[in-house]
Amino acid sequence: MKEYFYTKVLASLVGIVMTILAIIFGLFALIGIGLSNAWSSENSTSTTQYSSVFPIFVMIFSIGLFTFIGSLRLKNKTWNIIYIGLIVLIGIGFIITFFVIWGAIGLKIEIFILFIGFLYICLGYMAYKKR
């Protein structure tokens, strides 16, 4: 088998899932903001409406792109070290996020966040083992 084959496959899947998740989050956030404005259930300050949605969207979208595009350059030694470190850090961040939000947003979404964290940890392990 080629070096990093399984890592590239898993990174492609996780990167695509994270990118789709970012797009869905952005759409739902914009729909929620639009409905709250239409029903006048929020203050009319327009400066704070998108200030919390846009950075979260950009962060999730960039994590997905980094996961997908970064796996294509794993044969470079320096990039390999940076990629493995950041992927493991992202996985640990998702697992910590799971414990921080326990009971706040619903069991299915929390389990999904934990699953994504474990996928990132597995991805870092597979990149470390060059599989």
Please give the Cα distance from 3 to 77 (Å, whole number). 13
Q: Of 64, 74, 52, nearest to 21 (Cα)?
A: 64
CB of 7 within 8 A of CB of 123? yes
Domain boundaries, the chain: 5-128
The pLDDT-based confidence of 98 (bands split at 50, 70, 90) is: very high
Mean pLDDT of the 21-25 span: 89
Higher-confidence position of 44 and 92: 92
pLDDT above 60 (res 45): no
Q: CA-CA distance, 55 to 113, in Å (whole number)?
A: 18
Of all residues in the chain, the percent with pLDDT exceeding 90 is 49
Query: By CB neighbour count within 10 A (0-12 exposed, 13-18 middle, 19+ buried), where does 35 fall?
Result: exposed
Instruction: Tell me the pLDDT band of 52, cut-offs 50, 70 and 90.
Output: confident
Look up residue 118 and give its amino acid.
F
Cα 98–Cα 99–Cα 102 angle in degrees, nearest 5: 80
